[in-house]
Amino acid sequence: MKRLALIAALLASAAPAIAQQADPLVEGFERPPADARPLAYWQWINGNVSEEGIRQDFAWMKRIGLGGVFVFDVGFNSPPIPQYVDKRVGFGSPEWKSAVHVAAVEAKRLDLSFGAQSSGGWSVSGDPSVTPQEAMKKLVWSETIVGPGKGAVTLAPPPSGNGPYQDTPTSERNREPRLSGEVAVLAYRLSDAEAGAAPSFTVTGTDAPALLGDGKFDAATKLVPDAAGNITLAFRFAQPVAPGAVTVSTDGDIPGGVVLDGSGATRATLGAPAQHGARVRTILLGGAPSRDWTIRFTGLDRPLSVREARFAMAPRINRIEDKAGYGTLFDYESIRTPGGIAGTPAGSVIDISDRMRADGMLDWRPKAGRWAVLRFGWSLTGSRSTPASRESVGLEVDKLDADVVRAYANRFYDRYKDAVGSDGRMNIAISDSWEAGQQSWSPKLLADFKRLRGYDPLPWLPVLTGRIVDDSERSERFLADWRRTIGDLIAANHYGVFAEVLRARGLTYYAEAPGTDLPTVADGIQTKSLVDVPMGEYWYWPAGGAPKPEHIADMREAASAAHLTGKTMVAAEALTTMGDEPWATGPREWRRPVDRFFAEGVNKIVMHTFAHQPFTDGRKPGMTLRQYGQHFTRNEAWAELADGWTNYLARSSFLLQQGQPVADIAVFHGEDGASAAPHHFERLWGFDYDFIDRTTLLQLTPDNGGFVTPAGMRYRLLMLAPGVRHLSLPVLRQLKRLADANVTITGDQPKGPIGLGTDATEFAALADAIWDKPTPDAAIPPDVWTYDGRLDWKHRIVPDGDIYFLSNPEGQPFEGTVTFRGDGLNSPPASREGLGEGLSPSRAAASDTPSPDPSRKREGSRTAELWNAEDGLRTAVPLTSSPTGHTVRVSLPAYSSRFILLRRAAASAPTAAPRTKTKAVALDGPWSLSFLDGMGAPPTATFDSLHSLTESEDPAIRYYSGRVSYRQTFRVRAMPRIHAWLDLGAVGDMARVIVNGQDLGVTWTQPARVDIAGALKRGENSIEIITANYFQNRLIGDRQPGAKPQTFAPITVYAAGDKLRPSGLIGPVMVSVGR
């Protein structure tokens, strides 16, 4: 028993209690509401589901403060996940309906949210009910050369098989069922370059030269690289030729490479791959004729299967496959076909569809010349919901047809409605990221194009095959209209219709619409703006690493969509992994990426992932989503201490959902139909930004030198993102209206219009007027600045002040002053030519002082409070105000965060910060230990001194994973009146502190420190510290020679010699007091 003598002077040091009015911020921070609580993906895997397991899953959710789940029906076939339950629970079966009902009833009983993914698997809208007629389609074509003469001509049929492009095959599982149809038959006269006989040539470097130039993609020849890693295909023509383009296709991503002429000069490089598309690439060529041409693939370390490698004698649209909807690109500008290349006049493309018989015979011949007849049709992409169980796998639905999508959405969620019943709850729904590939056709597409773009696309369809119509510039503009139309239809007819259907059912619609890394032809802000809760995703990365740029962009896109449209929540699929460190990370490691993305605008965490645990016999850690993590389930070794983590997420999310976000800059990312937030756009030092899409930009209203969205979000400066060089006339007219209202616009002057139907003279005049206009010369003070280190941050305005989230992303403590602008959007914007003294792309020099803002509105004095979401404590901190801002001194441990609240008057006074400390007193041994989770460990043990469990000579303790209770008692002679802290020292990996039976919460950070003043009593005090570590140690223990396995895990990555992680209460444990 310990005797802790606390200084008697503390008895008189407490400030008197002050009656306070109810403070909604304090109430929500201390007891976060459901909307702030994290959710999780809840995976039902290969039918391994049990009703009792469902009940136990929900009970755990409630215990730890998880807000609810989205159920996914998932299956894996390669390798398959075994069936562990006695009776498989297949999607749609009576057993499945009963299981869903149990989940819905538990959700209602426990007041938790329950919803479902919009398809089998996790992408994106497909199941067995989708018929081939309703499935995703692609545009295909065949070409037949026709000359004058008599008699009908047999037209080659367009490719009819499933796949991403023409007759490129898809995977074996997606090849059936098949369906195809006709679209149109168009004809145009060939240019002289193409009208003559095809030049003869020979090819070396392959045994199948005919296969490489047959215009088909259904067969491949395998080529082996030389010692330098090159594959060389040498073409010798009978006469010198000047090809207009080259087309290559390979299995897998097209490797790097070059196209050389006979002199060895490089005429083209094969370029970077598309984001998500067909592995076919056409590249424009030019220059002098040559008899010898070479295609060389480089950088290879294995054989390469080549499906096509051929030259065209006339120019083609550069990278046409990626521009026509068969792939996506972030940068269409850099691969734009140069202007000035003449093509077939649009008016000379004729529609002869009515001259083709049902058997494919054409009753038409030209009167003169050689003509190309393009027979356009459609076939299925074959895309299926993935990775779905065998009961829920099915064709992906046509995303461009509103009627088909509406029927599918109702059909799919009717299954759940029937299963949920009147006594259950289903209140949310989700669409995970798009992994369905590309769609380039739908039966109503031509009519929708004409409605949306205002002209008939039929004469321009040859452009989709690579041909140039009118000229290269107008062909590129048509392609932009084509992508814009597909993007508009995906937004309105897929995500918009899903939102409409789900709202009518009372479900809140979350969606990663369409997902990270531009997975389809869509405008990410446009699609995310249509759903109730815009959502992105980010993956876990280890210390010393960095987030992927595409995840930062995706989350910025989701946050921007919410801000632009006045939505409160920005959700994130959080902490996904490929299973590199299963059961070896937890809250302490997760906090770093979570905080980073809080600073990017996230305020609703959806954990990836929670595999349903059908077992009730103690098998742990249990089911997993194969290797994909995190493995956040009731079977985690620290599962019963997970409330420390969920409470942190909920408190942080609550504050980040309050009021309105602050961003000075709106960045216009362009108006291509395939648009996403740029990957490498960095926040300007001291300023925050949102991306803005075409739809919102057209709705902006000028306001006192800034501008406002219809939802009320105000910005000070409009920036055109780098690479935005072509705009539509409506957007340019809007920019002119904004510029005339003294809105500052930065960025390069556009080169020309993005689509057809624009008056070039008006466009040029408007662009000159905007970019020649003098702009206001006003600096914007930074919103947040410090010269003492790096901080990530987010700012929101509330009625009585400001909320700032501050995060230290570094591995060492931050100590310094931070200055906040602190009063929202009351300043005029900066100059367009120079971003102003405050608004600068680079960090200001340490001697710089931001300019005062003369228009600032001060409404009384402000107080500063530091709110800690880890433990819910609120502390008053000194505040210094000046004309340039409000300054607070901040201390942040490594990889930690705090909230700073600047308020005019706090309705609930925070605790005063301790100004002095007494010396700390150590709680030495002996400690009584209880091992609470079995795992082969003894029930109890006694440690005379604290040390890591991994130092124990007993293997059952050394390799233990789970909870350990440490107990001790001590005496208090004089009661502290302000602070008494329990410092746990080193802990592996988290601990719950209970003093005199009062649960004081979980500490999972370093330093591990808990305020115990409110639980102490005079005299004898009991203390219990329950630690929990990760499963890594026990999994390693099970790999020891002769060990009796204590765990059940479908995946195993650990070996007997792997390093153990320090575990348990390591100490030293100290008690200190402050005043």
User: Is residue 209 within 8 Å of 279, Cβ to Cβ?
Assistant: no
pLDDT beyond 80 at 135: yes
Give the Cα separation of 722 and 715 in Å (integer).
19
Give the Cα separation of 714 and 387 in Å (integer).
42
Q: Span 978-984, mean pLDDT?
A: 88
> How sure is the predictor about 855, in pLDDT bands with cuts at 50, 70 and 90?
very low
Position with higher pLDDT, 430 vs 972: 430
pLDDT beyond 90 at 369: yes
* N-to-C CA span, the chain: 26
- Give the pLDDT score at 776: 67
Give the Cα separation of 119 and 135 in Å (integer).
13
Q: Span 782-792, mean pLDDT?
A: 92
Residue for token pair 């074509």 = 141
Give the Cα separation of 810 and 186 in Å (integer).
62
pLDDT beyond 80 at 856: no
- Give the pLDDT score at 846: 31
Q: What is the pLDDT of residues 69-85, one digit of tens each?
A: 999 999 987 778 899 99
Q: Is the dihedral of CA 109, 112, 116, 121 positive or negative?
A: negative
619-641 b/e with 16+ CB inside 10 Å = b?
Answer: ebbbbbbbebbbbbbbbbbbbbb
DSSP state letter for 917 = B
- Give the pLDDT score at 737: 97
Q: Span 20-48, mean pLDDT?
A: 94
Per the structure block, which two tokens stand in for 941? 């043990």
Q: Which of 628, 626, 630, 624 is nearest to 611 (CA)?
A: 624
User: Is residue 373 within 8 Å of 153, Cβ to Cβ?
Assistant: yes
| φ, ψ at 555 (rounded to 5°) | -70, -35
Q: Which residues contact 783 (CB under 8 A, 6 or more apart)?
A: 662, 664, 686, 687, 688, 795, 820, 821
- Give the pLDDT score at 777: 66
Give the Cα separation of 147 and 981 in Å (integer).
93
Q: Span 106-116, mean pLDDT?
A: 99
Give the Cα separation of 819 and 853 in Å (integer).
14
Residue for token pair 């047959």 = 214
What's at 65, amino acid-wise?
G
pLDDT beyond 60 at 839: no
Q: Span 296-314, mean pLDDT?
A: 94
Q: Span 89-104, mean pLDDT?
A: 99
Q: Which of 460, 439, 516, 449 is nearest to 277 (CA)?
A: 439
What's at 487, amino acid-wise?
G
DSSP state letter for 1040 = S
- Give the pLDDT score at 862: 79
- Give the pLDDT score at 973: 83
Position with higher pLDDT, 196 vs 293: 293
pLDDT beyond 90 at 946: yes
Q: Span 247-268, mean pLDDT?
A: 94
3-state secondary structure of 739: helix
Residue 170's CB: how many other CB atoms inside 10 A?
17
Give the Cα separation of 574 and 378 in Å (integer).
38
| φ, ψ at 536 (rounded to 5°) | -130, -165
Average pLDDT, the chain: 91
Position with higher pLDDT, 574 vs 21: 574
Q: Which of 998, 1008, 990, 1006 is nearest to 644 (CA)?
A: 990
CA 791 and chain centroid, separation:
23
pLDDT beyond 60 at 602: yes
- Give the pLDDT score at 841: 29
Q: Span 911-925, mean pLDDT?
A: 73
- Give the pLDDT score at 906: 59
Q: In what order do the strands lie in the sheet with 714-715?
A: 701-703, 706-708, 714-715
Beta bridge partners of 145: 372
Per the structure block, which two tokens stand in for 830? 């900066």
Strands (E), 298-413: 304-312, 350-351, 361-362, 371-380
3-state secondary structure of 665: strand
Per the structure block, which two tokens stand in for 784? 């947040």
Q: Which of 27, 48, 44 is nearest to 36 (CA)?
A: 27
Give the Cα separation of 608 and 630 in Å (integer).
6
pLDDT beyond 50 at 1027: yes
pLDDT beyond 50 at 521: yes
Choose the weakest-confidence range: 469-473, 580-584, 664-668, 893-897. Answer: 580-584
Q: Span 99-113, mean pLDDT?
A: 99
Q: Span 248-273, mean pLDDT?
A: 91
Per the structure block, which two tokens stand in for 911? 């605790």
Beta bridge partners of 900: 804, 866
Q: Span 846-870, mean pLDDT?
A: 60
Beta bridge partners of 196: none
Q: Span 483-488, mean pLDDT?
A: 98
> How sure is the predictor about 831, in pLDDT bands with cuts at 50, 70 and 90?
very low
Residue 1070's CB: how many other CB atoms inside 10 A?
16
Give the Cα separation of 951 and 867 in Å (integer).
38
Q: Domains of the chain (ranges plus CATH)?
A: 2-15+918-1074 (2.60.120.260), 42-136+385-433 (no CATH), 665-771 (no CATH), 784-912 (2.60.40)
3-state secondary structure of 499: helix
Q: What is the pLDDT of residues 18-27, one digit of tens each?
A: 345 689 999 9
Choose the weakest-confidence range: 380-389, 509-518, 793-802, 909-918. Answer: 909-918
Give the Cα separation of 792 and 804 in Å (integer).
10
Helix-helix angle 643-656:51-64, to 10 degrees: 60
- Give the pLDDT score at 711: 97
> How sure is the predictor about 918, in pLDDT bands with cuts at 50, 70 and 90?
low
Helix-helix angle 402-420:94-110, to 10 degrees: 70
3-state secondary structure of 947: coil
User: Is residue 137 within 8 Å of 380, Cβ to Cβ?
Assistant: yes
Per the structure block, which two tokens stand in for 47? 């039918």
Per the structure block, which two tokens stand in for 1073? 């007091």
DSSP state letter for 516 = T
Give the Cα separation of 780 and 838 in Å (integer).
5
User: Is residue 394 within 8 Å of 83, Cβ to Cβ?
Assistant: no
User: Is residue 537 within 8 Å of 433, Cβ to Cβ?
Assistant: yes
pLDDT beyond 70 at 842: no
Per the structure block, which two tokens stand in for 864? 């500063």
User: Is residue 990 within 8 Å of 1003, Cβ to Cβ?
Assistant: yes
> How many residues are present in the chain?
1075
User: Is residue 370 within 8 Å of 149, Cβ to Cβ?
Assistant: no
> How sure is the predictor about 285, in pLDDT bands with cuts at 50, 70 and 90?
very high
- Give the pLDDT score at 859: 44
Q: Which of 550, 557, 504, 535 is nearest to 608 (CA)?
A: 535
Q: Span 56-66, mean pLDDT?
A: 99
Give the Cα separation of 1006 and 241 in Å (integer).
71
- Give the pLDDT score at 192: 81
3-state secondary structure of 380: strand
Give the Cα separation of 1012 and 1033 in Å (integer).
31
CA 69 and chain centroid, separation:
19
Q: Is the dihedral of CA 724, 729, 734, 737 positive or negative?
A: positive
**3-class DSSP string for 226-268:** CCCCCEEEEEEEEEEECCCEEEEEECCCCCCEEEEECCCCEEE
> How sure is the predictor about 910, in pLDDT bands with cuts at 50, 70 and 90?
confident
Residue for token pair 């297949």 = 90
